[in-house]
Structure 1
């Protein structure tokens, strides 16, 4: 894919639905939730510094985008309501997120489930007893 193909022609932030809409010259159109963009931030804080160092993002269900800052002619910096602002979303990465949104979202939900974590910041999941371990957790 050429850089031109990855560059959105229009970018719209829908505040009520908390979605970023990207419209491309080839007719592709993607709507990505603020939560989705936050949990898939390309920042080192989220991705780590290598494979296996990713940090599962929890409690991001109600996060918003407060600001969108263009970075040169190749990316956006998104400023989130939880203070996160270190991810630089290249045009190619945004296109990839849009094209793989459903699979990535299902993977994220599975990771939350396996971790016993929640999308809701007000819902804390605490495991007091793990039957597989046969003893209360410390």
Structure 2
């Protein structure tokens, strides 16, 4: 999977990404930040993940290419150690609803259910963008 288009939208706080298979996603910066593939967020093994709090308004100040396989965002909270491969960005887009639900559940379980701008069962911001085409196939 290779991106054909990558657009940082500062006002709406989303990363729009289209792939060569025709799929496209709008990934909210908050989602990118709380699911950063960095060791700071994921830990160094199962059970070492760190719940990210207060990321509702996080922005992206830079998005640097890493070879031909990834980008490295710098977030407004200073976090900049996650390398987002094309495969990982595709996974975030494809599994966005389940990931939001999991994040909301973890916030709730930790007593921080109001920490995100999301509410359980609410419309998911950045849901998949309709693929280009005639729409009948």
> TM above 0.5, one fold?
yes
Q: Could you list the per-position Cα deviations for residues 82-115 of structure 1 after superposition, in whole angstroms to 9, with x for gaps in the alignment?
A: 0000000011000011100000011000100010
Runs of 5+ unmatched residues, structure 2: 118-137
TM-score by structure 2 length?
0.82
How far apart, in 2, do the equivalents of 1:42 and 1:25 lie?
Answer: 23
Structure label with greater radius of gyration: 1
How far apart, in 1, do the equivalents of 2:10 and 2:79 lie?
Answer: 18
TM-score by structure 1 length?
0.81
Q: Aligned-pair distance for 1:27?
A: 1.3
Higher relative contact order (CA 8 A, sep 6+): 2
Equivalences for residues 46-61 of structure 1 within 5 A = 46-61=41-56
Equivalences for residues 1-138 of structure 1 within 5 A = 6-117=1-112, 118-119=115-116
After superposing on structure 2, the runs of 4+ consecutive aligned residues of structure 1 that deviate more than 4 Å are none
How far apart, in 2, do the equivalents of 1:45 and 1:97 lie?
Answer: 18
